[in-house]
Amino acid sequence: MDDALLVHYRLTPAPGENAADKARGIALEQTAELPARCIPETLLETHVGQLVDLQQTDDNTWNASIAYAPELCGGEATQLLNLLFGNISMKAGILITGIDWPPALLEHFGGPGHGITGLRSLLHLPPHQPLSCTALKPMGSDASALAAMTRAFAAGGVDIIKDDHGLANQPSARFGDRLHACQQAVEQVNARHGGRSLYFPNVTAGPSELLERLAMARDAGCRGVLLSPWLCGLDSLRLARDDFGLAVIAHPAMTGSYFGSEHGLQPEVLLGDLFRVAGADAVIYPNTGGRFGFSLATCEAINDALRRPLGGLHAAMPAPGGGMDMARAAHWIDQYGVDTMVLIGGSLYERGDLRSATRELLATLGR
């Protein structure tokens, strides 16, 4: 299968478990869900994963590669995810370390609608400038308080002001109230100061409400949204892109449990490849040294997965966050490159005056 979806696994067999059996078990479990002897011969060749490589790497670790016919995804992100890790999420010692994507599948899923270049274009930012993003918080603030923060951040010149991903449709600030108050705030400040800040509301919700909120965001004049693919489904990224023309920042909520050392999907596969292929323009991840535990190598692997050449897909913007100090923002741009959007929240709030803190942040970024 030259055009196969080739998935690379690191296997850690349990005591007494044979690596080859484990690998072949994955190929069956993720497709036919039947013993090989129950599968018609024609389907065994076309609709079951084929183990194409198996190498022992140390005493109890093996690298396995399994080729799947792209048709098994049925062209849908939900089934792609199911094929990759649906049932084997409930087994042990299986880590997806990489995916070789067939060009036709990449073209079908389509990747970012805007990507790095498109985000720069929305923000009128030249290629040599890094991007900045902040978050409206805390939960419980009412729409007018959130609009006031939006005004301050916009007056300070931040590029993207996004809702905190916990702002949903709570009584304290209903989605519609918040959307209109914050979008109006950012437009007013832009008009007054000639800025180009954008407000991205969090549209994460169930299927009907997601459709409704995407439409409301577009109709209110937003150019993009925040959503958490693991809360509302990976395919929600495509929906925002294709049916609403909105840019999307993807949030990693609920994904952390897959990042085991022996089980799951490596962060660069899930937050890098999968989020990008499914349509994220920017991907938030917990930067090393913040409140979460990613290593520098993992952060750089995510950056690479988001930006590397991948069929004809746009590159997506890494958005490291999760407790970054504004004083270190320039350091991270040096480390990760200008095609990075630093997400700074708490560190601005700690300064008290959001507008001057934002200006200071941008100055450190040479903006």
Q: Find the binder of a second copy among 64, 131, 133, 135 (CB under 8 A).
A: 135
- Verify binding: residue 177, a second copy, rule CB under 8 A: no
Site residues for a second copy, 189-228, by CB under 8 A, read 204-211, 228
**Helices (DSSP H) in the chain: which residue ranges?**
19-29, 41-46, 77-81, 103-109, 115-123, 143-156, 175-193, 207-220, 229-232, 236-244, 267, 275-278, 296-307, 329-336, 346-349, 354-364
Q: Find the binder of a second copy among 66, 67, 83, 155 (CB under 8 A).
A: 83
CA–CA distance, 18 with 63 (Å, rounded to integer):
13
- Verify binding: residue 288, a second copy, rule CB under 8 A: no
What is the smallest separation between the CB atom of 14 and a second copy, expressed in angstroms?
9
Residue with tokens 């990042």: 259
Site residues for a second copy, 317-336, by CB under 8 A, read 322
Which of these, 303, 364, 354, 356, lies nearest to 328 by C-alpha position? 364
Q: Find the binder of a second copy among 75, 245, 312, 366 (CB under 8 A).
A: 75
Helix or strand holding residue 174 (H, E): none
Q: Residues in contact with a second copy, total (CB under 8 A)?
A: 88
- Verify binding: residue 292, a second copy, rule CB under 8 A: yes
DSSP one-letter string for 120-166: HHHHT--TTS-EEEEEE--TT--HHHHHHHHHHHHHHT-SEEEE-TT
- Verify binding: residue 68, a second copy, rule CB under 8 A: no
- Verify binding: residue 286, a second copy, rule CB under 8 A: yes
What is the smallest separation between the CB atom of 51 and a second copy, expressed in angstroms?
17
- From residue 16 to residue 55, the character string flagging contacts with a second copy as x (rule: CB under 8 A) and all else as - is ---------x---xxxxxxx-xxxx--x--xxx-------
